[in-house]
Structure 1
Amino acid sequence: MAGLTLFSANSVWASDVKGSDVPAEPPAQVAAKPLRAEDPKAVIRFAKTGNFDSDTVVRIARNLAKKPYVALNDPLPASLAKISYDEYRDIRFQPESAIWKAESLPYQMQLFHRGFYFQDLIEIAIVEGNKSRHLSYDPDLFSAGEVLKQKLPTEDIGYSGLRIHYPLNSTEYFDELFVFQGASYFRALGKGNAYGLSARGLAIKTADPAGEEFPIFRAFWVEKPTSDTNLIVVHALLDSPSVAGAYRFSIRPGENTRMDVEAVLFPRVELSKVGLAPSTSMYMHSPNGRHTTDDFRPAVHDSDGLLMINGRGERLWRPLANPRDLQVSAFVDNSPQGFGLMQRERDYVNYQDLEANYERRPSLWVEPVGNWGQGAVVLTEIPTQSEIHDNIVAFWKPRQPLAAGGEFRFAYHLSWGASPAPVENSIVVSRTSSGRADIAKPTPKRLFVVDYEVKGKRPANMPVAKVETSAGVVSNIVIRDNPKSNGYRLSFEFDPGEVNLAEFRAELKFDEPAAAETWLYRWTL
């Protein structure tokens, strides 16, 4: 695993550790706190006070890419530069100081302090009409308890990110809706969800032996919402040694929270190992893969499968794995209709975790806008022994590299929720499990069981199952009704013989047209 980084999003995101879901007081009871005046000595590079239009961030990114990359050096004051996890947790944004709280608007914004893993200075501005206003750091927005002994600085040290609250689950309660913090990572929730997987602005050199490059959102411009719509818009400036870019996120909360993403990239160098619309998740084990873990819980994962609808309309389901060795899979396609990391298992009894709430983790569905051309959905699975590490990455890799000095525009929809992907009138894989089929050999046969659920009208006739393998021998293929899932159960045995890797493909064939998912799986010894 040389050169790979496991991003510990599940354990260190400030939004996880601060208890951010605070009930909102009625606006009439809250006195508006004026924003702090700009520090004339502060160095503001990007999110400046001034004019703003729809192309402002694009112009900044275009000009930035014309120059050699310069890593911004804005060190924290010495008193905060090396604080511990517990000390960082002790710095809390004061909910009563939330931006827009006193204005009867549907959204409230809170800010993250710099420190611990989140060292970079991130600039933030508020946009109202055609004007932007730099949001200066204000220590009065934060409080600290008994753990942090240091005093908070008074100079404009910026922030490390932002989070937006909205009454997603109740009109009386402003829930945390989405977060931007850490490199180009961000997360969002649908109704009833708890934080799980993350998205990123861009992936570069994922699983590269020389190491991955992590672009960062250097600055944000947040458009002030209005009282007559549930739309909120966030602009972001992306930067890294290889590329600069401008992003616009148009966000509407709901049962499935929707983000419309528009991006413009300006590569400084040729991007041959780039991933568009990347998502990052955690998979440790399930009934399908417990050989690497010893855990009292039946399953531990933020996502259990990769769903793809390719350019031909075929639905492909690939269960996730926690392999012994790093593995990368590429699913070649032309103009994909959608892909995403799904959390399909929604019953607590299948996790038995009273704290993690894995059954509430959102799925994330990516729907490209326009023709993305030839390329591949790439899935990277990294071995892990801990659930605090995000070890799963999925993205779209264009076949043609993005040329240095060019300008590349793309757009896509992100849907976060319990079931954001289309499933109507289809037959979906609801569960994959496996175990030893015999004890007669040093490398025994494996038994695979795949359960399908019918969404919509049930076909009149039983399907015929077709199972193929790239190596080894498949036998004893059985398909039967499964009344527990309103669907079917497919089982088969696999004899690996002398091989230690095999690719499976299983299809259900019906007499009448039926959109059944194709099951894909990579078995490794």
Structure 2
Amino acid sequence: MFNRRQFLQVATATAGLAATGFSTKALAQQSLKMGEPVPFSFEALKRRAREMAKEPYSAPPRPSPEVLEQIDYDAHGKIRFKTDLALWADGPSQFPVTFFHMGRFFQKPVRMHVVSDRQAREIIYDSAYFDMPADSPARKLPENSGFAGFRFQESRNGRLDWRKNDWVAFLGASYFRAIGELYQYGLSARGLAVDVAVHGKNEEFPDFTHVYFDTPQPGSDTVTVFALLEGPSVTGAYRFVMQRAAAVIMDIESAVFLRQDVSRLGIAPLTSMYWYSEKAKTTAIDWRPEIHDSDGLAMWTGSGERIWRPLNNPPRIITSAFVDENPKGFGLLQRDRNFDHYLDGVYYDRRPSLWIEPQGNWGKGSIQLVEIPTDDEIHDNIVAMWVPAEPARAGQSFDFRYRMSWSAEEPYPTPLARVVATRFGNGGQAGTVRPKGVRKFMVEFLGPPLAKLPNGVIPQPVLTASRGEFSNVLTEAVPNNVPGHWRTQFDLTVTGTEPVEMRGYLRNGDEVLSETWLYQYHPAF
């Protein structure tokens, strides 16, 4: 680590910077303290990660843990980066960068760097970069303690005030998130997931410890960030090429190296919150009709099947694996966009959907969905990820490329009818004693193939279940005069408490009309 005396103030080092090829125009601010230039390339970062994987893990030092513990939620909320000091506040990028301060919940420092002309300089932390109360415990931290994370502000040339609005944020371990065209944050992504919900093992949360901002050409509509990943079992090098369009598009390239065996290696992991929805809500648990950042997992398999799996808040941790080869895509989506279904000023109806589009050959593996019980909206209890079929052993390496689309809808919508609602209640017929152990399901579909059906033609439901028996099956048009809006209802009779895996879709003869509905039913819950 550089001694503070080695660092130069940009305002007083114009000649020295120009001599190294690191232009003051590339920095475009006069008050951030910068380190000495060192050579940088993505290939060198990958070599560094590969070599680190051969060495035992050493956790990044935490500056003054006793001080960081004092920076609790309230104290952290009062610390604001001064936007006048933002990286690229005056160009060349149209998207300035601001930084998060460390605190009780973000104690590991992230070293930030600016890259120009294949040279990287560290941005040196200084408490003077932040507005904070005079009695803030953050003032007790030592020099060059480090930052917790960063965010890209909206365009300086856009309709929003860039000082008050941001569009992507990296904060905590390898977590990051972005807004979509509805201008609302929601679910998160991660660089890597290690041993999520593995019996007998604690989940590991590797960190982005070093971040590098590539200085763009003036007028560029993309930003490029490199990151070094470090953890007890893994290392990695990442490149993010991000575009702020109607949606936020990220092209990600990762090289991952294993220090130790990993039981469940999650590639392109997504993390969201699902408490309850219209299909299942405990009586009087909350005044709002629904609370979730995402309501389902969408999959586009390598064979071309389109699948919708509504999310659950299960009675215990449940992991579902959907085996595939070279998947075309998957994502956690928020399909219900009706404000009246949430009635909350935090705008769950605007939360972005996040779609993963693999690039290249991902081979054999499975899309895995982990659902964790929760009793509040403050917990992210849903994880979706790709898990390679090949065992993840120490000494191995993995290379993956993929595109992330943070949007309102999936970027490649199915031409088939979509599942728009899943509901259930007591089985049996109205006006009769409802039998025990029987659950009635109602699945709604909407889309052009159903709207084009000739008058009098009723689509046929195709239903299967891992156990139990179906009865009282009925398909009808929803009586709301919306073309192509149909629903299938059926009863499921089942004994025991183990989950039931159900599958269904609509067809007309040999023609498939809808995507496939999957659902995991917990009889005793």
Instruction: Give the shorter-chain TM-score range.
Output: 0.7 to 0.9
> Which of 443, 447, 451 is residue 440 of structure 2 equivalent to?
447
Partner of 2:248: 257
Query: Any idea what SS the aligned residue of 2:254 has?
Result: strand
Residues 1:198 and 2:188 aligned together:
yes
Residue type of the partner of 2:446? E
Q: Does 1:80 align with 2:68?
A: yes
Answering whether residue 472 of structure 2 is matched by residue 460 of structure 1, we say no
How far apart are 1:33 and its partner, in Å?
Answer: 3.2
Secondary structure of the 1:61 match is: helix
1:108-119 correspondence to structure 2 within 5 Å = 108-119=96-107
Q: Which amino acid aligns with 1:34?
A: S
SS of structure 2 residue aligned to 1:380: strand
Confirm whether residue 101 of structure 1 aligns to residue 89 of structure 2. Answer: yes
5+ residue gaps, structure 2: 1-27
Aligned to 2:369: 379
- Give, in whole Å, the separation in 2 of the partners of 1:152 and 1:281: 35
| Mean Cα deviation higher: 358-367 or 424-433 | 424-433
SS in 1 for 2:261: coil
Q: For residues 471 and 272 of structure 1, do their structure 2 counterparts lie closer, same or farther at Cα, with a shift above 3 Å needed?
A: same
How far has the Cα of 1:469 moved from its partner? 1.4
Number of the residue aligned with 1:492 = 490
Report the CA distance between 1:447 and its aligned residue.
1.7
| Residue aligning to 2:80 | 92
1:396 aligns with 2:396: no
Q: 2:297 pairs with 299, 302, 306, which one? A: 306
* Root-mean-square deviation (Å): 2.2
Match of residue 409 from structure 1: 399
Tell me, what secondary structure is at the counterpart of 1:269? Answer: coil
Task: Tell me how far apart the structure 1 counterparts of residues 82 and 186 of structure 2 sit (CA, whole Å).
Answer: 24
If asked which structure has higher relative contact order (CA below 8 Å, sep 6+), I would say 1
Name the CA distance, whole Å, in 1 between partners of 2:342 and 2:127.
41
Q: Distance in 2 between matches of 1:190 and 1:90?
A: 27
Structure 1 stretches lacking a partner, 5+ long = 1-30, 39-47
The Cα offsets for residues 110-135 of structure 1, whole Å up to 9 and x where unpaired, read as 00111120000111101112111111
Among 308, 323, 327, which residue is 1:332 paired with? 323
Q: Summarize the alignment of residues 108-507 of structure 1 with structure 2, pairs less than 5 Å apart.
A: 108-145=96-133, 148=136, 151=139, 153=141, 155-167=143-155, 170-174=158-162, 175-209=165-199, 210-291=201-282, 294-354=285-345, 356-438=346-428, 440=433, 443-454=436-447, 458-461=451-454, 462-482=458-478, 483-484=481-482, 486-507=484-505
Over 3 Å counting, the alpha-carbon distance change for 1:292 and 1:369 in structure 2 is: farther
CA displacement 1:406-433 (0-9 Å, x = unmatched): 3321111111011134115221111111
Contact preservation (8 Å) 1:459, 1:514:
no
Q: TM-score when scaled to structure 1?
A: 0.87
Between 232-241 and 136-145, the greater mean CA deviation after superposition? 136-145
Percent identity between matched residues is 38
Is the contact between residue 283 and residue 390 of structure 1 (CA under 8 Å) also seen in structure 2?
Answer: yes
State which of 506, 509, 514 in structure 2 corresponds to 1:508: 506
Matched, 1:518 2:516: yes
| Aligned-pair CA distance for 1:401 | 1.3
Which amino acid letter does the alignment assign opposite residue 460 of structure 2?
V
Give the 3-state SS of the residue equivalent to 1:75 in structure 2: coil
Larger mean Cα displacement after TM superposition, 171-180 or 515-524: 171-180
8 A Cα contact 1:426 1:516, kept in partner:
yes
Code of the residue aligned with 2:80 in structure 1: it is R
Distance 1:104 1:232, change over 3 A: closer
Q: Which has the larger radius of gyration?
A: 2
Check the 8 A contact 2:92/2:219 in 1, yes or no.
no
Pick closer, same or farther for the CA change 1:80–1:499 going to 2, 3 Å.
Answer: closer
Tell me the number of residue pairs that the alignment of Structure 1 and Structure 2 aligns.
485
What is the rounded CA distance, in whole Å, between the counterparts of 1:424 and 1:376 in structure 2?
Answer: 21
Q: Is the 8 A contact 1:309 1:316 kept in 2?
A: yes
1:35 aligns with 2:32: yes
Instruction: Quote the residue 1:56 is aligned against.
Output: 44
Deviating above 6 A after TM superposition, structure 1's stretches of 4 or more consecutive aligned residues are none
Larger deviation, residues 515-524 vs 339-348: 515-524
